[in-house]
């Protein structure tokens, strides 16, 4: 198959490209970074250098493809994040329509069924709505859990204060996912052709914050590591102190409140909390310890 990946060579794009090229597919990888050109070609794929917000470029990259994988960069642009994410979604939708692609797999997120109150996830809600309007296109919304890799951001807090946590209680269940598990799910979905628009969750494990703290503590030699629930104000202040832009920090605080009030994981849990990824928390804890 001819497949275009709008996801560069990050934690998902690189293993996905490897899986697809090794399976014999003709792969084009979109990247905004010209320095990625050689690395993309070294994997046996074709490089297309341009922006996911440029509809004309995307149309060219999608033309001739039998299937397309779309994802938007996190914190797109650093400012006006939701608006920028939606703008990229509009460009993707336009390119899909004009290029005639018939199969699309979109990286979405738990909580993307909610129009607001979910922080950066709200942008993905709007893209799902845009893609729902695509005619004669088979779309799978691959709603991913909370990335394990996000916990790397807590290393300074653990080292400095001996705690970890967020602005939601330690008893809240968190659907978690490892990027390579997403890549596996995407590779499997791209070669399928279900009818209409479909939602599929990709989650590697479901654990509470307290269980996360316990697993990390055991792996790094701090078995008493506690999960601490911060207020929204404390969480915001901590992120600003760590150097995050105010808009980004505010969106992450809102996402935490979405876990706290249950809106983000609600649909996933209502669907029976399907766990289909291979990487469990205890396995990732060893990766975390190596980074620690």
The reply to whether 207 falls in a domain is no
Segment of 77-91, 195-209, 232-246 carrying the highest mean pLDDT: 195-209
Categorize the per-residue pLDDT at 261 as very low, low, confident or very high, splitting at 50, 70 and 90.
very high
Q: Which residues of 189-203 are buried (b: 16+ CB within 10 A; e: fewer)?
A: bbeeeeeebebbbbb
* Rounded Cα gap, residues 154 and 238, in angstroms: 11
Nearest to 209 by CA among 159, 169, 158, 255: 169
77 pLDDT exceeds 80?
A: no
Pairwise pLDDT comparison (69 vs 10), residue with the higher score = 69
Q: CB under 8 Å to 238, separation ≥6 — which residues? A: 157, 230
Host domain of residue 38: 2-145+179-202
The reply to whether 137 falls in a domain is yes
- Whole-number pLDDT of residue 69: 98
- Whole-number pLDDT of residue 26: 98
The token duo for 133 is 């309007």
- Whole-number pLDDT of residue 192: 94
The reply to whether 198 falls in a domain is yes
Categorize the per-residue pLDDT at 73 as very low, low, confident or very high, splitting at 50, 70 and 90.
confident
Categorize the per-residue pLDDT at 244 as very low, low, confident or very high, splitting at 50, 70 and 90.
confident
46, 88 in Cβ contact below 8 A? no
- Percentage of the chain modeled with pLDDT above 90: 91
Span 112-137, mean pLDDT? 96
- Whole-number pLDDT of residue 151: 95
75 pLDDT exceeds 80?
A: no
* Contacts of the segment 33-38: beta carbons below 8 A, 24+ positions apart: 33/8, 36/8, 36/9
Burial class (CB in 10 A: 0-12, 13-18, 19+), 177: buried
The reply to whether 245 falls in a domain is no
User: What's the domain count of the chain?
Assistant: 1
Categorize the per-residue pLDDT at 211 as very low, low, confident or very high, splitting at 50, 70 and 90.
very high
The reply to whether 168 falls in a domain is no
Q: CB under 8 Å to 285, separation ≥6 — which residues? A: 215, 216, 218, 219
For 134-183, write each residue's pLDDT tens digit: 999 999 999 999 999 999 999 999 999 999 999 999 999 999 999 999 99
Residue ranges in the chain assigned as alpha helix (H): 13-22, 37-42, 55-62, 81-99, 122-132, 155-161, 179-190, 209-220, 232-241, 246-260, 266-270, 281-291
The reply to whether 100 falls in a domain is yes
Q: 2 — phi, psi (to 5°)?
A: -95, 120
Q: Which of 44-48, 138-142, 198-202, 242-246 has the lowest mean pLDDT?
A: 242-246
pTM over 0.85: yes
- Percentage of the chain modeled with pLDDT above 70: 99
The reply to whether 163 falls in a domain is no
CATH number at residue 53: 3.40.50.720
The reply to whether 234 falls in a domain is no
């Amino acid at each position: 198959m001819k497949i275009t990946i709008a996801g560069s060579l990050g934690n998902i794009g690189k293993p996905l490209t490897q899986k697809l090229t090794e399976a014999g597919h003709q792969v084009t990888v979109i990247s905004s970074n010209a320095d990625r050109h050689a690395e993309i070609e070294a994997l046996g794929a074709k490089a297309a250098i341009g922006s996911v917000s440029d509809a004309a470029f995307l149309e060219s990259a999608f033309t001739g493809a039998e299937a397309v994988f779309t994802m938007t960069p996190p914190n797109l642009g650093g400012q006006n994040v939701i608006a920028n994410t939606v703008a990229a979604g509009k460009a993707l939708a336009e390119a899909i329509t004009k290029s005639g692609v018939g199969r699309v797999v979109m990286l979405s997120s738990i909580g993307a069924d909610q129009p607001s109150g979910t922080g950066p996830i709200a942008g993905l809600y709007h893209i799902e709505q845009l893609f729902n309007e695509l005619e004669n296109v088979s779309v799978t919304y691959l709603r991913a859990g909370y990335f394990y890799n996000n916990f790397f951001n807590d290393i300074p807090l653990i080292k400095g204060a001996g705690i970890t946590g967020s602005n939601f209680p330690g008893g809240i269940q968190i659907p978690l996912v490892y990027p390579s598990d997403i890549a596996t799910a995407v590779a499997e979905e791209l070669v399928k052709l279900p009818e209409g628009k479909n939602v599929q969750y990709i989650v590697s494990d479901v654990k509470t914050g307290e269980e996360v703290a316990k697993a990390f503590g055991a792996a790094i030699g701090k078995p008493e590591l506690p999960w601490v629930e911060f207020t929204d104000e404390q969480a915001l202040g901590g992120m600003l102190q760590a150097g995050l832009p105010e808009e980004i920090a505010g969106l992450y605080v809102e996402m935490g409140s979405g876990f706290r009030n249950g809106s983000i994981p609600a649909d996933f849990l209502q669907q029976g909390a399907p766990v289909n990824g291979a990487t469990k928390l205890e396995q990732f804890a060893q990766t975390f310890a190596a980074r620690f």
